[in-house]
Structure 1
């Protein structure tokens, strides 16, 4: 598609969306293909020339896809202390920057997404202060998005609105590297400034929003430009001056000591208009400032020690680390300031001490005003959909190609040194698995070309080492392999074997994989399939277009997407840290990823494969290690636990300072860097309101037999059982099989837990510690009476039957995940409905109502498009712990729920336990509680808010 064709397509698309919006608003009907066809007919009558340049079917397909998307509900914790509400529809009426940005984004976003962007940016701006408010004020907040989910687009919209409202200086802190800063500048040129900030050119060409409204009188001012070295320079600092009457100023700068010191000096010497007579601090009183901190968990967090003294009071003479100190100093020089951090990985931000402050630098960057958690749209592909949850199996992950060690270790050992020379079969060449990944990228580009996406960007990521010298060797090997394939297809020499390999690979693996991804992950899109002959026809041109680029601190290559906008850049990007954070890889299709960082935030940010893949998700592939698949699954669970805790606090009306967050620990992973966690401590913690379930078991028959014998003794001690179908309340359509005991004394439960042996790799589920917690809660007369359920398979076959303590049971099937020499791991144990066992009807209905209150229709969280039809675990546990007087439901903190399961070893796929006894698994559902009782363990790290609330430090 040519540039003219694309403009015609975008123009029709934008106008069609607006017509459909009006029709929907007028009729209240859902958008249908017939409605789309009708509106396009109206447009064709007045845009005949444009319609001649585009394929009508493509327009229809794109409009159907856009109107199939849904956007979840955002959630915000806020503290309105010293805040004056101000943002009204009347105030927004004459805004220009937002109007043109909104119009610019119409061709790029479905209207439902554009409306969500409008709502989300209003939410954030409304929690900041009115820039026209006089006096002194300071607001600090945090926006938590998802990796590669459109945070830049969100804060661009926020900047447009802030400038419309009257903020005069906007500073965007854009990462640590020049290429990320330049990429951010380009995005803001297009979305806010409206012109390309080229160096040494007087007549700057209009771009983006500037093509919509070319009025030079509203053009914002800029202090930085889009070149690689376009940061805030000495020359700019020496010449630049601003006054309250001027249009807003934009600074896009790195988080770099020299640049920030230069900016701070400019503020003191050229902008400040007042000196505090007591402290001598220079102040800017006439210009409100907005600071946007992109990737705010990276570089901005104070990693110094002793932020507060032993009594929890701030150390006013504390010296923060450099970047943190300079950001705070910039804010502290303005009487009217607003700071908004953006991140997808808030693990470091929540460990900022909420009381940290010094005389010289002002308060720390704790988001005291608000934390907004953005929901993921239905077309977002993030860790929850790529990796499932902890211990997901390869069969659950259609996008992922797990790599066994023998497929890469000889070429790139995990612990290699700088100067390592990767070799495969003794030669300087790629391992077979990386050659396969490169070919996978070629198939992806070919399919996209056949779908009419040949002029769109397409990228492949190769991330296998942090050393630039080793990256250079990898670049050479990848380039040689691409060159060899290109030569064979262009000249036809030595092609037969290669073509036979690729044909077989495409037909037996890649194409069936496409079908599986479409079936499992693609909704509301019709993605065309192609046979080998069609792919083969375009493959020579596709291979010829591919470029291999090295992206690191020493390479001169750059991802020049903007310069290739018309033809689409087809690039294999090879690098390390520069590819790990923030840098967007446009049209990312294929990833080959071996890095083994062990921090939650670093790993998540390395996952550049997350994001939006409309029109080509089925050709995407991730090649990575089985270990990383397991770790990412755990991180997805940790992130979900964080969000669930957040939602519960929102429902309770809490503030950021009330938010005692907990982040899961791991036997191998760390939450974030140890320096960022200096304000975190292992805490005495509670299991109240938690669900614990065993997913890791021994794979030695003698240990399995010991746990089965322990369980048999426990079940025998419980006395006569009820049938699990005879509960207090069985909702219509539900059915449970198994046995039930009520009013079981806690002493029997704790005796069982102390005798049962959990596997050492079960880092969170340690049965003796759970028993200790129950004993501790018994001191407040909580968890004293237990419901115990032995849950059986619903529709068993003869091979599932087994006796335990004289009771008939049907064993469950739970397949292993990745292979482990020392254990049997499963993905998940319980069915979500099992936590509702033996609820009364009133409890069930109250928990369902709460589940619907906290439902956010977030695709990444698998919350679904419709409100839940049955209560969810967190709501059940909260209802039991707190009750719901309005529904006639009393709290039952004395009641715990222990669920027992037998897993069929013959169905486990673990050879070592084929003939063993049933594997006993258990889950414990704890009601919520306000008790201050705690047990101590290092399985959790808590932030300052949490350990102050608990009033305990455990070293």
Structure 2
């Protein structure tokens, strides 16, 4: 441990001794740091930077984290975890002490609580008889899930679980990185090929009793995964004495060998009473921790049904899923906990699927835990903000549009979206990097230099280059980056031709770094903290040092490429990591500052996992940059919104005490949460969806003149059939009344009129949920059981653009609302159509307040999701739920019609500055040439309903492959 780490740890211990946390001020922190430094400082040593330690401790003591939210199924479960049971636990205690030197005490306390929650939802390993518990933990990308399951493993070992298997992804580099983390957090020693404990490390410092050292059947080496030969070296050691840890890949060969060892006479102690040939383990409780549980573990094969709807027990699941389940099925006492940030695929696992050979599938029937992230976590919601009718708001200005990697006209360029393994990257015919990637590398060098100036020079700094999944092409990119960095290093070092480089960097400094840091200080001062901006002269003074220290690391999948930051713990590693899929899942890039990313998959779960730039950026978030395409930014914005909705739904169901099965059914029927691979949904042609309790919006609009006229005619006909409505409706609220000054509201509209509108309206073929014919089918099915017979309909023309339009009834609208978006090949894509208040246009004050009360009951602050202050208006979800509860005149859907401006409002309007190589220019142009009438869009707010009525939603697998990319 370095002197600065020792001073930090000691000062934190002194501060934690304060009985009143309110007294821990920056002044007191500085005093304790000074005292700690005086206690450890040697006369001839370099003085510790006390101001840097003080800043770090101010950050730590200002962080907080919300309690995790959980859905439980207690059927067959016996509560067992108590404070008394935890007395004398040593694995957890030493890990807790280890964490307290690095993390705020409140974050460690939260991890203690959440791991208690998870362990307590499993079964007592001392419990007699057979039992099986399966659960899922949902975290955020790069938010500390490894730290959480390390704590769970420590506690499970303390409690009496004897065999602990960690399924650590699909590739060697992630497996090795996970092994290293668990050596530090659980084992307390560096593993070696002979099976003996090697160099002490990590938690060993806090409890050096080697008698409690767990055994480990894998090592951190490139060939350190499990194999039967390695198992023979520890044949004489009994798992009953000390727990065994296995960190393995999700690989057929590895899992087959592990299963064989488990079923051998050395481990298995009995035969299955129902099948004497099947060996089982009755005396050793098993815990399986599945990292990235949505990747590789989910059965992507068909699950055939019998005529009575039951699962065919003879079907064969996919090989990895089969082997994981066979391992679990071999133990009479087993627990499975999946960890993921993208649970879409896991929710689609059939809850009743089981086979004779494999036993149950991996649906998390026992529990789902939704982890909160600490207040300093920078996740999708914080980076990309939230979508409103005025565009996205609240995001951090960290992304930079790039377009020079590909020429859409010629379908060629340095890195076109579709290329083969023999592609040779070339920019304008030259074997060189595009200007945008050169800028990104310069940006990384500047970020590293500023971190040095801020006293963070010994901390890790990384850059990600993720442009292709093909290893051969990655090798070309690696060579080009190496040549560019070497050339830059030599020019800065020798002074020959360095002025053009410094001029380009100075331009980035003035046009990007200085204004961005100022913006972030204004938008999120709690993230910017007191990170000072040095002078340009100070930056230039350390550039040579930064470039000398920068290494280029290809990451293709071997453990040798696992980015072992621990080897550079005292100096700080500065690395440009170049890879593809091996960088996409689970691999942690410490101190990630700059990302250059042009992958094109659009599946929510795959894209979200590729977001290595999410995470913790203490004292340098303003230096981080994401260089990517506008399309990918739009998709990341979309998945940020979808993930937020998924978490909101989870919180709502947890308050109601519902189970994982009920949550799974709810998500499966959700029209937005469908973007994972169809093979993971096991429904490659048809999904069953319900629109109850949802808001459906036409955010994909057509541009064809005949379609625009058809939709305008449909709206005109509906208005004519409804007769007179109430103009400029007003609803009383607590403070300021809601007034829709230019709107018209119709009540008690017959469902037949609305169905005629939906039947006549042409929606875009690429719409993910707002398909008029599917909606009409759902309404008719609800009508058949006596629901949705009467509607509220609102025409909402509030805006400031367009010429007056007169409907056939004489109803005139003088202004059209605008929505920002992007022109597509045959349509116009917008973000959000509906203003949040519009769903309550027919809701009076009493019911509006009730919806607000329900909203506040489920709300909790969560900075990672952009939630800091309690809402003052009810959420649309609670307005829809309130309609079901209120009944009477409110138990009805609301159809909202928006006559949009035919002028396109660009989603991004950036102009490339002179001298900058990246950037984009967009001009305002009409949605459709020679079309000046309003473009009709609509939204429907469906009240919640427990009827379970669903409709078929067709998914064309070939289209899915073309649009979203192949399953990964």
Tell me how far 1:49 sits from its aligned partner.
6.6
Residues 326, 585 of structure 1: alpha-carbon distance in 2 compared, 3 angstrom cutoff: same
Which of 545, 556, 560 is 1:552 aligned to?
556
Output one character per residue of 1:574-626: Cα deviation in whole Å (capped at 9) or x when no partner. Answer: 11221111111111111111222243322222221121112111111111222
> More deviation in 138-147 or 196-205?
196-205
1: CA distance, partners of 2:449 / 2:319: 48
Residues 355, 705 of structure 1: alpha-carbon distance in 2 compared, 3 angstrom cutoff: closer
- Aligned counterpart, 2:792: 787
Residues 149, 798 of structure 1: alpha-carbon distance in 2 compared, 3 angstrom cutoff: closer
- Aligned counterpart, 1:251: 246
Which of 820, 841, 849 is 2:845 aligned to?
841
Q: What's the secondary structure of 1:404's corresponding residue?
A: coil
For the pair 1:403 / 2:402, whether they are aligned, the reply is: yes
Matches within 5 A, 1:710-859: 710-712=714-716, 714-715=718-719, 717-727=721-731, 729-738=732-741, 739=743, 740-791=745-796, 793=798, 805-807=810-812, 810-816=815-821, 818-859=822-863
- Aligned counterpart, 1:536: 540
- Aligned counterpart, 2:502: 499
Q: What's the secondary structure of 1:438's corresponding residue?
A: helix
For the pair 1:878 / 2:881, whether they are aligned, the reply is: yes
Which of 287, 295, 318 is 1:298 aligned to?
295
For the pair 1:655 / 2:659, whether they are aligned, the reply is: yes
2: CA distance, partners of 1:656 / 1:318: 25
TM-score by length of 2: 0.89
8 A Cα contact 1:289 1:334, kept in partner: yes
- Aligned counterpart, 2:255: 260
- Aligned counterpart, 2:921: none
For the pair 1:900 / 2:897, whether they are aligned, the reply is: yes
- Aligned counterpart, 2:12: 14
2: CA distance, partners of 1:66 / 1:476: 40
2: CA distance, partners of 1:676 / 1:798: 45
Which of 913, 935, 938 is 1:919 aligned to?
935
Which of 170, 173, 180 is 2:164 aligned to?
170
Output one character per residue of 1:895-926: Cα deviation in whole Å (capped at 9) or x when no partner. Answer: 22122334344572441249723333332111
For the pair 1:368 / 2:365, whether they are aligned, the reply is: yes
Output one character per residue of 1:442-473: Cα deviation in whole Å (capped at 9) or x when no partner. Answer: 11111111111111111111111122111111
Residues 637, 798 of structure 1: alpha-carbon distance in 2 compared, 3 angstrom cutoff: closer
8 A Cα contact 2:52 2:455, kept in partner: no
Which of 112, 118, 123 is 2:106 aligned to?
112
2: CA distance, partners of 1:41 / 1:55: 10
Which of 485, 493, 498 is 1:490 aligned to?
493
Output one character per residue of 1:850-875: Cα deviation in whole Å (capped at 9) or x when no partner. Answer: 2123223233433x233322211111
Which of 321, 324, 330 is 1:333 aligned to?
330
> More deviation in 692-701 or 490-499?
692-701
Let me know the Cα RMSD of the aligned residues.
3.1
For the pair 1:139 / 2:153, whether they are aligned, the reply is: no
Residues 261, 815 of structure 1: alpha-carbon distance in 2 compared, 3 angstrom cutoff: closer
8 A Cα contact 1:764 1:939, kept in partner: no
Q: What's the secondary structure of 1:857's corresponding residue?
A: coil
Residues 901, 306 of structure 1: alpha-carbon distance in 2 compared, 3 angstrom cutoff: closer
8 A Cα contact 2:227 2:254, kept in partner: yes
- Aligned counterpart, 1:355: 352
- Aligned counterpart, 1:951: none
Which of 86, 91, 94 is 2:88 aligned to?
94
1: CA distance, partners of 2:31 / 2:561: 48
Tell me how far 1:195 sits from its aligned partner.
1.5
For the pair 1:934 / 2:950, whether they are aligned, the reply is: yes
Tell me how far 1:538 sits from its aligned partner.
1.2
- Aligned counterpart, 1:952: none
> More deviation in 546-555 or 357-366?
546-555
> More deviation in 693-702 or 801-810?
801-810
2: CA distance, partners of 1:665 / 1:689: 10
Output one character per residue of 1:252-293: Cα deviation in whole Å (capped at 9) or x when no partner. Answer: 112222222222222222112223454223222222111111
Tell me how far 1:801 sits from its aligned partner.
7.9
Matches within 5 A, 1:550-629: 550-553=554-557, 557-629=561-633
1: CA distance, partners of 2:145 / 2:350: 25
For the pair 1:284 / 2:277, whether they are aligned, the reply is: no
Residues 401, 871 of structure 1: alpha-carbon distance in 2 compared, 3 angstrom cutoff: same
Residues 781, 265 of structure 1: alpha-carbon distance in 2 compared, 3 angstrom cutoff: closer
> More deviation in 891-900 or 483-492?
891-900
1: CA distance, partners of 2:956 / 2:73: 27
8 A Cα contact 1:724 1:789, kept in partner: no
> More deviation in 115-124 or 929-938?
929-938
Tell me how far 1:476 sits from its aligned partner.
0.7
- Aligned counterpart, 1:322: 319
- Aligned counterpart, 1:152: 146
Q: What's the secondary structure of 1:523's corresponding residue?
A: helix
Tell me how far 1:637 sits from its aligned partner.
3.1
Tell me how far 1:249 sits from its aligned partner.
1.6
- Aligned counterpart, 2:381: 384
Tell me how far 1:294 sits from its aligned partner.
0.9
Output one character per residue of 1:866-902: Cα deviation in whole Å (capped at 9) or x when no partner. Answer: 3322211111111211x1xxxxx44667422122334
Residues 734, 114 of structure 1: alpha-carbon distance in 2 compared, 3 angstrom cutoff: farther
Tell me how far 1:675 sits from its aligned partner.
3.5
Tell me how far 1:638 sits from its aligned partner.
3.0
2: CA distance, partners of 1:545 / 1:592: 20
2: CA distance, partners of 1:54 / 1:809: 68
Output one character per residue of 1:3-60: Cα deviation in whole Å (capped at 9) or x when no partner. Answer: 532232332343145235x323xxxx48543554566577678667799943333333
TM-score by length of 1: 0.90
8 A Cα contact 1:787 1:896, kept in partner: yes
> More deviation in 82-91 or 7-16?
7-16
Tell me how far 1:480 sits from its aligned partner.
0.5
Tell me how far 1:309 sits from its aligned partner.
2.7
Residues 860, 809 of structure 1: alpha-carbon distance in 2 compared, 3 angstrom cutoff: farther
2: CA distance, partners of 1:414 / 1:342: 31
8 A Cα contact 1:77 1:650, kept in partner: yes
- Aligned counterpart, 2:340: 343
Tell me how far 1:203 sits from its aligned partner.
6.4
1: CA distance, partners of 2:725 / 2:67: 44
Matches within 5 A, 1:301-312: 301-312=298-309
- Structure 2, gaps ≥5 residues long: 907-923, 958-968
1: CA distance, partners of 2:460 / 2:737: 49
1: CA distance, partners of 2:336 / 2:838: 44
Which of 631, 638, 641 is 1:637 aligned to?
641
2: CA distance, partners of 1:615 / 1:350: 37
2: CA distance, partners of 1:73 / 1:746: 44
- Aligned counterpart, 2:962: none
Matches within 5 A, 1:687-698: 687-698=691-702
8 A Cα contact 1:170 1:249, kept in partner: yes
Tell me how far 1:492 sits from its aligned partner.
0.6
- Aligned counterpart, 2:438: 435
